Chains A and B, each alone.
Chain A
Amino acid sequence: MHKFLLVGNANTGKTTLFNSLSKSNEHTGNWHGVTNQEKVAKFKFEKQIYEVVDLPGIYSMTPHSFEEKVATDYIYANLDCPVINICDLNNIQRNLFLTLELIELGMKVFLVINQMDKKPFNNVDVDLLKNELGCPVFLLDASNKKQVANLKAELSKINEFEFKLPYNYIGDVDYNLHIKKQNVKINKKYLIIKLYENDKYLMENYLAENVKIPDLSETFAKKRYEFIATLKSIKHVDKKVYGYSGLDKILLNKYLALPIFISILLCIFYLTFFSLGAFISNFLQYLIQDLFGSWFIHFISSFVKTQWIVDLFDVALIGGIGSILSFLPQVTLLFFFLAILEDSGYLSRVAFLFEDIFSKVGLSGKGVYTLLMGFGCSASAILTSRNMEDKNAKIKTALMTPFMSCSAKLPIYAVLGGAFFGAGNVVVVLGLYLLGVVLGLTLCYILEKTSFKSKQQSFILEFAHLRFAKPNRIFAIIFDNLKQFLIRIGSLLICVNVIIWLLSSFSFRFGYVQFTGEKSMLQVLGELLCFIFKPLGFGNWGATSALIAGLVAKEVVVSSIAIFNGVSGGENQISKSLSSPSSVVFFTPASALAYMAFCLLYTPCIATLGVLKNEIGTKLMLFSVILQFSIAYLIAFLVFKISSFIELLGIFQTVLIVCAVLFIVFCIIFVLSKKRCLNCNYCKKKCKKIKKDI
């Protein structure tokens, strides 16, 4: 079976071609660093099976970030495999730099020139380019099925092609350089060039100890670019500035850039959580729980006479799972807007804007992508931290990500906020999202100033071309995320809900608590632990147990509350049950707010912890668990106390008191900041004056 490695610069359409070749549905985007680990798929052509490996984007065989290292390591480990090197026609000169390095490495390179904007191809003389580079060349639009089918036919004939080295643009090299290993798999000339380019990885592995060689990377880069400039086949390619349009003058304007970004975010939140999202969500809830749910329970109870089995279906499945499923439209809308932001190329502008702020906390502006993806799913967002250049910056980005409010927490805000804050929930939800971002960045700032100081970073980021987001790509992103959401509901959440229902419905003597009146197993365990949360205002066993269940997946918090309160009628009924003191889980407005803040910040779900462990190690993952729990506890405590104060005194009095306290604190800091001496108990300057007078 042939294996092809898909290699190319970032954002040239590698994953699009990968999807087209193998009919996969991998995440694509108009951003540098969407693919952060190798992905393997197979395709069939004329009864022959081929394997294709999609690798993260690289600009050169000398890696600069963690994801680039993943790609180069994979290439070095599979030197015998042919490479499909995909280049973007809009930026062909720079893309060919990597092509030359791959040819120098001695790989079988199949050059594919991707034309994403569907301009005519006649600017490139394909036959001449084949001769000039000594490798097969193919022009296509990676999303065009017909052209991809033709590419498959060409790929199947790769062994028939006579590969030859192009003109010797590098010149001769010093073959006497002392190399540690003798049986080197890598092409010797390439190895020597890379050693003279001071490639860290190759130097560690191949250069003999104590041998020092000058860094000639600039010289070799120049030689490659000079050779590319002489290629007659691409001389007539349309030279137009790529990545900057007239709209950028508005989007990057120093007065308009931030208001535009904030307006976009506010629109997304409003449409997702309230107007459109809430409307579709209520409709779906009516369909699932009022129509399907009541029919299903009627159907079950017609032939099952055991009450606890009917209750299991009614509360654990229809109530618990239905309560999460009804949020499907809101989750879909959130992914829809994130996909538009990602595919339009606007994210590289946002990264440019936020580099100023991010550099102060030791991060790179590229962290904006991780941060925004964190609003979708923390686990996949953490993987994007691989595009950081520095290890400490990567650790900080990974630790910051779980502070972002992921889509799984959305039902918690909708249910609790809807119950206690009504229309004001817009402000509450927005405040929670903002709180997560501020705390995440503050944590990074503290880590930067203490033990995780980042090295100097370049923030060398290529601007993605601004374009209308493509519907098929948006659909693919939404489909992929919804598939994962539904798989989680269909597998993990059903099991967890059934277990939670069983634990909350049966006593340790296995009696059904509705009939025996005994305490359920979960109630006994919850009552043992709920004292921990008493200072936060939600020290009842139900709320405590829901938080523990939320460690599996955050969606379980709402479904657990629905099970404990015995509700099977959806979001509105759960909300109503929360304010009734007779319910197992009940809140006051202050404790509900504290509960929402706690859910936002406490220990992330198991999937996220698994990714954290892989990316930053077990110790730092445990640090993250303890740190997030502590911060969540502290913030929830403060939120509860301040909210209780407001409940007790009213907003006006509270604002007055807060102002007075702030004034006193300010005065104390002001007085303490004055330098004093023991002589006169006054400032230094005055003291000297007094001394002089004496």
Chain B
Amino acid sequence: MLYLSNCLTGDKVIVAGFKSEMPQNIKKRLCQLGIFSGTEIIFVQKSILKKVILIEVNFYMLSIRFDIASMIEVKHA
């Protein structure tokens, strides 16, 4: 299974689901921001120490922690 954290800069992926370990409050926030199964995401870049990633979602930019991204299952668009 491919996770958002494994993506490379410029990768266009579609959210396939969330790992069961994903904290519920964080999953809720992601859903409120429009990230749920079927959403298209573009991986923009990782931070210097690779703890945070920058993604493009529905034409806006969002940064999320790497460990959260590693719980978002994706597939290539």
A interface residues with partner B (beta carbon < 8 Å): 59-60, 62, 64, 90-91, 93-94, 97, 197-198, 215, 217-218, 221-222, 225, 239-244, 252, 254, 257-258, 348, 351-353, 355-357, 359, 365, 389, 455-463
Contacts and interface: CB of A to CB of B under 8 A. Distances in A.
A460 B23 CA distance: 13
Contacts of B28: 60, 62, 64, 197-198, 215, 217
Given A359-B65, A459-B65, A463-B62, A97 B32 contact: yes
A355 B51 contact: yes
Contact of B61 (A351, A357, A462): A462
Nearest to A198: B24
10 contacts: A94-B33, A94-B58, A215-B24, A242-B60, A355-B63, A458-B30, A458-B68, A460-B26, A460-B62, A460-B64
Contacts of B25: 64, 389
Interface in B34-66: 34, 36-38, 44-45, 47-52, 54, 56, 58-65
B41 to A, nearest CB: 13
B45 A252 contact: yes
B75 interface: no
B31 interface: yes
A244 B56 contact: yes
Nearest to B37: A218
A347 to B, nearest CB: 13
A229 to B, nearest CB: 10
Contact of B60 (A64, A222, A243, A459): A243
B59 A240 contact: yes
A217 B24 CA distance: 9
- Which 4 residue pairs are nearest across A and B when measured between Cβ atoms? A356-B49, A463-B61, A221-B31, A243-B61
Contacts of B61: 241-244, 462-463
A217 B63 CA distance: 21
A158 to B, nearest CB: 27
B24 to A, nearest CB: 6
A243 B37 CA distance: 23
A59 B32 contact: yes
Contact of B52 (A244, A365, A456): A365
Contacts of A348: 63
For chain B, give the interface size range: 35 or more
A359 B51 contact: yes
Of B33, B61, B64, the most chain A CB neighbours within 10 A belong to B61
Contacts of A197: 28
B62 A461 contact: yes
A108 B73 CA distance: 39
Contacts of B31: 217-218, 221-222
A248 B28 CA distance: 29
A242 B61 CA distance: 7
Of B23, B27, B44, B52, the most chain A CB neighbours within 10 A belong to B52
A355 B60 contact: no
B59 A241 contact: yes
A94 B34 contact: yes
Contacts of A62: 28, 32
A96 to B, nearest CB: 11
Given A459-B64, A460-B62, A254 B48 contact: yes
Given A93-B34, A225-B34, A352-B52, A457 B65 contact: yes
Nearest to A354: B47
B48 to A, nearest CB: 5
Contacts of A359: 51-52, 65
A596 to B, nearest CB: 33
Contacts of B68: 458-460
A459 B63 contact: yes
Contacts of B37: 218
A355 B47 contact: yes
Contacts of A357: 49
Nearest to A351: B63
Contact of B51 (A94, A217, A356, A458): A356
B4 to A, nearest CB: 13
Contacts of B52: 352, 355-356, 359, 365, 459
B9 to A, nearest CB: 11
Contact of B44 (A217, A244, A456, A460): A244
B64 A356 contact: no
B30 A356 contact: no
A239 B59 contact: yes
A240 B60 CA distance: 8
A437 B37 CA distance: 41
Nearest to B51: A356
Contacts of A221: 31-32, 34, 36
Contacts of A240: 59
B34 A218 contact: no
Contact of A94 (B29, B50, B60): B60
Contacts of A455: 23
A549 to B, nearest CB: 44
Given A252-B54, A460-B29, A242 B34 contact: no
A241 B44 CA distance: 12
Contact of B65 (A64, A198, A355): A355
B32 to A, nearest CB: 4
A354 to B, nearest CB: 9
Contacts of A242: 59-61
Contact of B59 (A91, A356, A365): A91
B52 to A, nearest CB: 4
B65 A458 contact: yes
Interface string B6-31: 00000000000000000111111111
Contacts of B26: 456, 458, 460
B28 to A, nearest CB: 5
Contacts of A351: 63
A218 B60 contact: no
Contact of A356 (B29, B33, B34, B47): B47
Contacts of A461: 62-64
Contacts of A254: 48
A60 B32 contact: yes
Nearest to B69: A458
A218 B37 CA distance: 9
B48 A356 contact: yes
Contacts of B49: 356-357
